[in-house]
Amino acid sequence: MSEFNGITGFEGWSAKLKSLLEETKHIARQDDLDERLKMCDRLTDFILESRPDTPEIKELDRIANETATALLKQSIEERLMAIIARTGEYKRLTKEFETQAKENQVNAESIRLKSIIQTVDSATVMINSAKKLKDSLKKNASDKKVAALIDETVVAIENLRSRIGKLL
């Protein structure tokens, strides 16, 4: 059953609006959006239900409409101000993300190229050592010399290992 059933005449509608405005005052002091929306629905229903459409009743409708609109605009304004107040913080964080993204891109490039180049260098050392090993075998196949050159190869690989260590 509608809360407007049985209301007749300007006096009746005027009294009803007065009670609605009292409730609106109370609700406007609280930040409960659902309550505010419900109040606006009741004020709008008042506009649709009130009759006859005499100038006096239309004046009541105008007050009801302005009250509902003001209540909603207050809700919007409060939230918009809160959003605007946070804007500065976003600008600071945006810079932080931009800087990190650039740094990551540089690192990505570095991973793509540097490790390969460094490995080529190290591999060259390995190959040179192997070449010496081969040459030495032509001259003298004694185990001692072979052992020394292999030792050199191992040193090269050790260097490679320490370079990997630096990369990590």
Partner 1 sequence: MNKIIEILISQRSCNFQEQCISNFNWSRKWRTMQAMLLMLVVTATGCTSLPDVGPFADATHQLKAAVAQSGSTVSDELRYTEGGKETAEQLDQAWKARNQAFEAIAAYSDSLEAIVSSGNQGAQAAGELADSIQEFAEAAGIAIPASPAAIQVASDSIKLLVKYIAITRAAKSLEEAMVKTQPAVEQIVKLIVEDLEDIDGIFPAANKLVEINFKNSYATRISYRKALEDFVQKADVTDANDAVLKRLAQVNELLDSTNSWYSEYQQGLETNQRRLRVGRTLIKTAQASVQQWVTAHKQVVNALKNRRPVSTESLLEAAVEIRYLLKRIREL
Which of 84, 75, 97, 60 is CA-nearest to residue 29? 75
* 39-78 footprint of partner 1 as x/- string (CB under 8 A): -xx--x--xxxxx-x-------x---x--xx--xx-xxx-
Does residue number 86 form part of the binding site for partner 1 (CB under 8 A)?
yes
Q: How far is CA 127 from its chain centroid?
A: 52
Question: Shortest Cβ distance from residue 122 to partner 1 (Å)?
Answer: 8
Does residue number 119 form part of the binding site for partner 1 (CB under 8 A)?
yes
Distance CA 65, CA 62 (A): 5
CA distances from 93 to 81, 87, 97, 124, 143 (A): 20, 10, 6, 46, 66
* 99-118 footprint of partner 1 as x/- string (CB under 8 A): -xxxxxx-xxxxxx--xx-x
Does residue number 159 form part of the binding site for partner 1 (CB under 8 A)?
no
* 5-44 footprint of partner 1 as x/- string (CB under 8 A): ----------------------------x--xx--xx--x
Does residue number 139 form part of the binding site for partner 1 (CB under 8 A)?
no
Does residue number 1 form part of the binding site for partner 1 (CB under 8 A)?
no
Distance CA 90, CA 168 (A): 34
Does residue number 91 form part of the binding site for partner 1 (CB under 8 A)?
yes
CA distances from 30 to 10, 26, 117 (A): 31, 7, 67
